[in-house]
Structure formats: C-alpha cells, structure tokens
C-alpha cells in the first residue's frame, strides 16, 4: 500500500480517517493515547500545506447525534497537542461541515463531528453506506487512512471512501502493520503471548491461530476461570463462560499435542463482591489457590505466586505479544497482576507489543513509560483480527 509520501498534498483537502475513540468522563478525556498517536500524521500533512479534514468515531451512538459522544472535547485536546487551532464542525456532512472545510487555508486542521452520528457510516447496506461515503468524498481531494483501531470494520469512512479518492496509508497504519508482521513472519523465538480480559469468546480466533505460531500462551483476566473450569477446578463466583468450556478443552488438548505451553494462574486474588471502581474503596482481597476458589469468592486478579510464574515465563522470551489485563486493574487492590506482566515485558530483552485496548490503558494508568515497550498498538480488536489471519477491510481498501 502507498504511504503519504506518494501524495502531493500542498493546497489539497486531505481527509484523514483517524481513530480518536477515547474514553470520556463527561467532557473530560481520561486517556488521550489515541489522540497522541494521531498527531504525527496530522502534523506532517499540515506542515506540508494540506488542508486537513480529520474524522473519527467515538463510542457507539445509534446513528444519530448524541451529545455524550460528541468529539468536541477531542478537538480541543487535538489542538493542544498540535499547538495550533483545530476548527470543529458540529455536524459530519451538513452545512457546518461544508462551511468549516471551505474555510480552511493551507496548513489548517479541522475535525468533523462523530461519524457514527450518521447511520450510513456503519450500515450493512452497501448502497446506504456508499451514499454516505459520497457525501464525505465531496469534502476532500485525497484520503489518508490512519485509524488502525477501525480497519477491521467495513464502515463507510474506512472501506468505501478510499475507493472514491486517491488514497494512501498514514504513518500510524504503516507502523502498526510493520509491527504486526514481526508477530506473523519469521518470528524471533521463544514467542510468548499473554492473553487476558473478560471473555474467552473474544479471543477464540486468535487462540486458534496462535496454536500454530506461539511457543507459550499465558492466560489471565476473567477468561482464565473458564480455562480453570475446563480443567475440572471450582471457580466460585468468578466470571465463567460455560458454553466455551468444550472449545477451551479442545485448545488445551491441541496445545499439548503441538508442544505449545499453556500457563494458567496457580493462585488468584479473590473477594466476595466486584470492587467499586468509582470510590476505589478497599475490597479486602484474599489470595486463594486457583484450583480451589471458595464458592463465596470471585477471582479478580492473578495472585502473588502467579505473578512470579508469569514473570519467569516471560524472562527468556524473544518476542512477546500482550492483549488483555490480568485482573480488574482499574482498582488498586487488583492491579498488581497486570503490573507484574507489564514489568515482566520490560525486564526481559524481548521485542514487546502491547495489543491495544485495556492493555494500553493499563500501561498508562499504572504509570509505565510507553516508550519503554517495543510498540503499543492503538487497535486491540484490529490487532487480534490481523493475528488471526483475517482480511481487514480498511487495509484492503488502501491497497492498489
């Protein structure tokens, strides 16, 4: 795929599909990582004399305007990071959007309102989606795809719009794809994968693929309890996907046959109830064996012995991919498992990739230096689907 080096952007209206889907608490951005990741491409285009029209989704509005998902706070933060004013259009393809774009001079930057305020953005109907893409195309001369976190979606601004304009990949997408190739082609070994998060069902495809690629797979988070149950252990009130137990048992069997090491917690931190993430009130955690969680307790993090085990399993790795926290990292009582994994990545000499989503948020929340990791992805779901070997619509659309 072409990069922005192949485009003549001076004086041109350049539509940049970014991923500015950041968490908000009211109007307050609680993690600006994705905005900061978008800045280099936007800045480069502006400094080259482009009239930059940035667009993104935020949250899951239902195809109509919803103030809680407005990108207005993002426009302000983007301007701060760029060190220049960012004009904000309070609609996406309406009068304000057209007037805002028409008012841009060379080197100016504008941000359109949330793409998902328009039903055509996410429509499964090709004609409806295409009609919305036509309206977006009228706002620009060139297209730059740089929202890696959305490239696994067949959405108008990701998939249909590039076909309507001369297009190229932005710096972020080029970097993400280059990094992910290191996890799929001529991988340096041992190759260790750490998977966490709530649900096994979210990771089935990537586990299937990694059984052919990885040397060891470390499991944590809520999904660990389905693995423990599949081994015949009691998990108390812990998160459990009963319907996934047969699939997990099959994965464990196939991993054993292929010599892929599955590493599961040997102990967990448990409590009688899910912690209050707003007040952060003490939850009185107790460490219990992972194979004997009492009926009145729920596991909420890997325990101290598991932390040591996981660190040891990462110590000699040459490549590590990590996607998903080890527990409820947002609460201080259950953050140490996730902290131990992050520290384990830094203590070793491996090429490390943090696979976006909650893992990236945890790195920032727990105070780690992002630059100390090999790469922190901006797209959790997109990264996983790439590793599954799927064709990602947004990447396919950028190829000529």
94 assigned ligand-binding residue: no
Q: Is 58 annotated as a binding residue?
A: yes
Q: What residue ranges of the chain have pLDDT lower than 50?
A: none
| 337 classed as catalytic | no
In the prediction, which pLDDT does 367 show? 93
**What pLDDT score was predicted for residue 14?**
98
Quote the pLDDT of residue 380: 81
Q: Is-catalytic flag, 103? A: no
Q: Cα dist. 185→26, 177, 197, 351, 388 in Å? A: 43, 12, 26, 14, 13
How many other CB atoms are there within 10 angstroms of residue 76's CB atom?
15
> Do 142 and 41 touch, CB atoms closer than 8 A?
no
- Active-site residue, 98 included: no
Known binder of ligand: residue 337?
no
**Is 359 known as a binding-site position?**
yes
Residue 57 annotated as part of some ligand binding site = yes
Burial class (CB in 10 A: 0-12, 13-18, 19+), 177: middle
Q: Given its phi and psi angles, is residue 314 left (phi above 0), alpha (psi -120 to 50 degrees) or beta?
A: alpha
Instruction: Mark 346-370 as b/e (b = at least 16 C-beta within 10 Å).
Output: eebebbbbbbbbbbbbbbebbebee
Phi and psi torsions of 106, nearest 5°:
-55, 130
- Residue of 13, 34, 229, 313 marked catalytic: 34
Bridge partners (DSSP) of residue 168 are 144
Which position among 357, 379, 380, 394 bears the catalytic label?
Answer: 357
Catalytic residue among 199, 254, 364, 390: 199
Q: Could you tell me if 187 and 319 are in contact, meaning their C-beta atoms sit under 8 angstroms apart?
A: yes
- Measure Cα distances from 170 to 164, 235, 378 in Å: 17, 46, 14
Q: Is 252 exposed, middle or buried (0-12, 13-18, 19+ CB in 10 A)?
A: middle
Q: What is the pTM of this model?
A: 0.88
pLDDT of residue 400: 73
**DSSP 8-state symbol, 280:** -
Length of the chain: 400
Residue 390: active-site member: no
């Amino acid at each position: 795929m072409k990069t922005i080096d192949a485009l003549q952007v001076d004086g041109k209206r350049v539509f940049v599909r970014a991923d500015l889907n950041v968490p908000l608490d009211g109007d307050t951005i609680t993690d600006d990582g994705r905005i900061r990741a978008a800045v280099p491409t936007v800045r480069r285009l502006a400094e080259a004399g482009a009239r930059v029209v940035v667009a993104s989704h935020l949250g899951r509005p239902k195809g109509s305007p919803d103030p809680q998902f407005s990108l207005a706070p993002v426009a302000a933060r983007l301007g701060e990071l760029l060190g220049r004013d960012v004009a904000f259009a309070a609609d996406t393809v309406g009068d304000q959007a057209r007037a805002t774009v028409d008012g841009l001079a060379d080197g100016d930057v504008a941000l359109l309102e949330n793409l998902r305020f328009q039903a055509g953005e996410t429509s499964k109907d090709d004609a409806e989606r295409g009609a919305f893409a036509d309206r977006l195309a009228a706002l620009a001369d060139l297209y730059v795809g740089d929202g890696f976190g959305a490239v696994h979606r067949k959405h108008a601004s990701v998939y249909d719009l590039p076909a309507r304009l001369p297009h190229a990949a932005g710096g972020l997408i080029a970097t993400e794809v280059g990094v992910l190739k290191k996890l799929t082609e001529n991988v340096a070994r041992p190759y260790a994968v750490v998977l966490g998060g709530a649900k096994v069902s979210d990771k089935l495809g990537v586990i299937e693929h990694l059984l052919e690629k990885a040397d060891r797979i470390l499991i944590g988070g809520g999904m660990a309890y389905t693995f423990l149950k599949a081994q015949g252990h009691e998990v108390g009130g812990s998160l459990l996907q009963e319907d996934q137990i047969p699939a997990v048992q099959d994965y464990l069997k196939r991993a054993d046959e292929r010599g892929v090491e599955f590493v599961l917690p040997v102990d967990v931190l448990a409590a009688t109830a899910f912690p209050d993430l707003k007040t952060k009130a003490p939850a009185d955690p107790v460490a219990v064996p992972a194979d004997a969680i009492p009926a009145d307790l729920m596991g909420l993090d890997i325990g101290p012995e598991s932390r040591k085990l996981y660190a040891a399993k990462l110590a000699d790795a040459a490549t590590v991919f990590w996607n998903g926290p080890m527990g409820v990292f947002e609460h201080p009582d259950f953050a140490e498992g996730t902290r131990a994994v992050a520290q384990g990545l830094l203590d070793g000499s491996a090429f490390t990739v943090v696979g976006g989503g909650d893992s990236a948020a945890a790195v920032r929340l727990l105070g780690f230096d992002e630059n100390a990791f090999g790469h922190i992805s901006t797209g959790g779901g997109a990264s996983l689907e790439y590793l599954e070997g799927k064709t990602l619509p947004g990447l396919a659309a950028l190829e000529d």
